[in-house]
Chain A
């Protein structure tokens, strides 16, 4: 999908035009500017890590000190010993995995249905789906909470998960992608007697792996980070996800900044690692899904 840019700075171009020099002052200046901006963007994260490694009294010293005199993991030990953050990790993992798996499952099936099959009412349903993209989940919190109360799903995983599985925009993105997949493979599979469900699994899914990875990663990040809905539908601390649980940290630790920053670092680390590992997919996914969707 993505046509990668060829390295162009160093070699003479095909038409025999002027050769661009490798290093020029503007180029170096741009690189330096880019690095400075990157450092500026990393400072808050580095400051959080720095604070979390300081002994508690050093965090509130004025004038502010830069590096801890004796780095210690004491704050991390205290936060982990307290236990609730591990529980929230577990909850976030369960919620994010369930949301991602279910979203991919129902969205792929629906996208295939809208892209490749006909049935009475298909256009109306697709119109509803498009209208659904416009509905901000934030305006539904009150009626949705009432609904969850009557279904008995408050403070349950399903209560947190199910509303997040409804992602019309993902169905739309996948449907547009499926529209662009050639039908020849599908026709061939059909001649061989494959059922349509089989075609989805053995033809469409493998052919759209990059976009599925992108949708999956963004769904996972979104579910892991979602604050408002889990915050509304969970009241029991043992059912909270990381973002909701951490919202109460300030109060429960008092003004122990090293511990607060240690819990912030712990809360942010998993996704930073996921992002570092999958950066290529994330960047390409935004290109494929974001621009077209």
Chain B
């Protein structure tokens, strides 16, 4: 990945800009504020649809608000106290973490294997890249319709194969101990393609000379893989793990569509509980408090990973 290097650094910007225009010709107002107009359209939308709900959510969490938003009763920290004493919050948070722990390793490892396999030119390379990434472009609903059908007891594909092979069939989505696994398998199939492309881009960024030099030194294929390719992939792996952890924590669509959080809430993720608190029980303030707690979890994970990642990057240099 040969990246164009910036010709001038950030601090050099204003001087360079001023020098570039004829002297004494500047209009002070547009010169000073003109840039704001470029940022303004995005800024307005950002303020309306990101900043405002972020703060109104926090505000709501201190009130007893219904979805209609008419009657507000100040509760102070009551919603927050309720939340910490609500086993459903902890169960759904646990389900989210279990899903993240189960889905992240295969989503990273299989992606790496795919990238190593598909890093080739020609028609075969194209077909491999198409097959590995194709599921990623499907909507969640299409994915879950297909997989609910595949997991169907009796005449679904998986159980059909199991019974044909003489095994007992499994009611994947209605078995408390298997439902999460079923969702994880579906998720890996669906989303591994994105990580695969990240790895593929990194692989294609390794200069050929590195391998040529290794070949001269008599390195065989396995040595090239373990001594060159994989070590050079470690930064990319760090990045992918961070992105994947955060993405997995946000699990909702597949679970909601495949199991509706069941059986017996065994797969209900935290976002589904937020959704149910807000839109089924109409407890806006309470849903907001849980949202914020979850938001904090996401930020902690992101920042911790970022710290870890950047310090390791420095150490590795």
Q: Could you list which residues of chain A lie within 8 angstroms of chain B, going by C-beta atoms?
A: 1-8, 13-15, 17-18, 20, 26, 30-31, 33-35, 37-39, 41-45, 47-48, 51, 59-64, 105-107, 109-110, 112-114, 116-122, 125, 128-129, 132, 134-136, 138-147, 149-150, 162-163, 165-166, 168, 171, 179-184, 187, 190-191, 196, 200, 221, 224-225, 227-228, 232, 242-244, 246-247, 249-250, 257, 260-261, 263-264, 267-268, 271-272, 274-276, 279, 282-284, 286-288, 290-292
User: What are 5 pairs between A and B in contact, CB < 8 Å?
Assistant: A38-B132, A44-B135, A119-B33, A142-B274, A143-B56
Closest 6 CB pairs between A and B? A117-B35, A287-B201, A113-B38, A64-B160, A110-B42, A38-B131
List the B residue with the shortest CB-CB distance to A47: B157
A257 → B minimal CB distance (Å): 6
B117 to A247, Cβ gap below 8 A?
Answer: no
Q: A113–B36 contact, CB under 8 A?
A: yes
Instruction: Tell which of B13, B119, B161, B200 touches A116, judged by Cβ atoms closer than 8 Å.
Output: B13
CA distance A64 to B274 in the complex (A): 40
**Interface set, chain B 28-75, CB cutoff 8 A to A:** 32-39, 41-43, 45-46, 48-54, 56-57, 60, 67, 69
**Bound complex: CA of A86 vs CA of B236, how far in Å?**
41
Chain A residues, Cβ within 8 Å of B14: 118
Given contacts A228-B252, A291-B236, contact A139 B3 (CB under 8 A): no
B69's partner among A13, A149, A257 (CB-CB below 8 A) is A149
- In the bound complex, residues from chain A placing their C-beta under 8 Å from that of B118 are 34
A221 to B191, CA, bound (A): 13
Select B212's contact among A17, A122, A290, beta carbons within 8 Å.
Answer: A17
Q: How far is the CA of A34 from the CA of B127 in the complex (A)?
A: 10
* B295 in the interface (beta carbon within 8 A): yes
State whether B204 touches A4 (Cβ < 8 A).
yes
Decide: A122 and B131 in contact? CB cutoff 8 A: no
Residues of B within 8 A of A221 (CB): 137
B90 within 8 A of A: no
In the complex, whether B250 has a CB less than 8 A from a CB of chain A is: yes
Smallest beta-carbon distance A225→chain B, Å? 4
User: Chain B residues near A33 (CB, 8 Å)?
Assistant: 117
| B20:A129 contact, CB within 8 angstroms | no
A143 to B54, CA, bound (A): 8
For A283, the chain B residues whose CB sits under 8 A away are: 129, 197, 200-201
Contact, CB under 8 Å: A225 / B129: no
Q: When the two chains form their complex, are residues B67 and A146 in contact, meaning their CB atoms are under 8 A apart?
A: yes
Q: Which of B81-89, B98-106, B147-155 contacts A (4 or more CB under 8 A)?
A: B147-155
List the B side residues contacting A136 at CB < 8 Å.
Answer: 246, 250, 295, 298
Of A4, A112, A119, A244, most buried by chain B (CB within 10 Å of CB) is A119
| B141 x A143 contact (CB < 8 A) | no
The answer, yes or no, to whether B109 is at the interface (CB within 8 Å) is no
| Residue among A8, A145, A180, A263 making CB contact with B6, cutoff 8 Å | A180
| A41 & B1 in contact (Cβ 8 Å cutoff) | no
Residues in chain A near residue B33, CB distance under 8 A: 119-120
Residue B253 CB within 8 A of the other chain: yes
Q: Which residue of A lies closest to B218 (CB)?
A: A18
Max chain A CB contacts within 10 Å: which of B49, B145, B156, B161?
B145
Total cross-chain contacts (CB, 8 A): 348
CB pair A286–B197 under 8 Å, yes or no, is yes
Chain B residues with CB under 8 A of A243? 139-142
A179 to chain B minimum Cβ distance, whole angstroms, is 5
A257 to B119, CA, bound (A): 37
Q: How far, in Å, is B207 (CB) from chain A's closest CB?
A: 8
Instruction: Report whether B295 and A41 are in contact in the complex, using a CB–CB cutoff of 8 Å.
Output: no
- B311 CB–A CB distance under 8 Å: no
B239 proximity list for chain A (CB < 8 A): 291
Within the complex, what minimum Cβ distance (angstroms) separates A122 from chain B?
7
Q: Is the CB of B139 within 8 A of A246?
A: yes
Partner of A141, one of B45, B150, B274: B274
User: Which residues on A sit within 8 Å (CB–CB) of B57?
Assistant: 139-140, 142-143
Contact code string B262-292 (vs A, CB < 8 Å = 1, else 0): 0000000001001100110000100110011
* Shortest Cβ distance from residue A8 to the other chain B in the assembled complex, whole angstroms: 6
9 further interface pairs, Cβ-Cβ under 8 Å (given A41-B132, A138-B252, A275-B137): A1-B4, A113-B39, A119-B39, A121-B36, A140-B53, A142-B60, A146-B60, A260-B149, A287-B200
Chain B, Cβ-Cβ closest to A164? B49
Given A41-B135, A165-B45, A171-B42, A30-B117 contact (CB < 8 Å): yes
A110 in contact with B41 (CB, 8 Å) = yes
Query: In the assembled complex, which residues on chain B have CB atoms less than 8 Å from the CB atom of A105?
Result: 41
Interface pair A274/B137, CB less than 8 Å apart: yes
B212 proximity list for chain A (CB < 8 A) = 8, 13-15, 17
- The one of B3, B149, B257 in contact with A180, judged by C-beta atoms closer than 8 angstroms, is B3
Q: Chain A's nearest CB lies how many Å from the CB of B190?
A: 9
Contacts of A288 in B (CB 8 A): 1, 201
Q: How far is the CA of A226 from the CA of B292 in the complex (A)?
A: 22
In the complex the two chains form, is A144's CB within 8 Å of B49's CB? yes
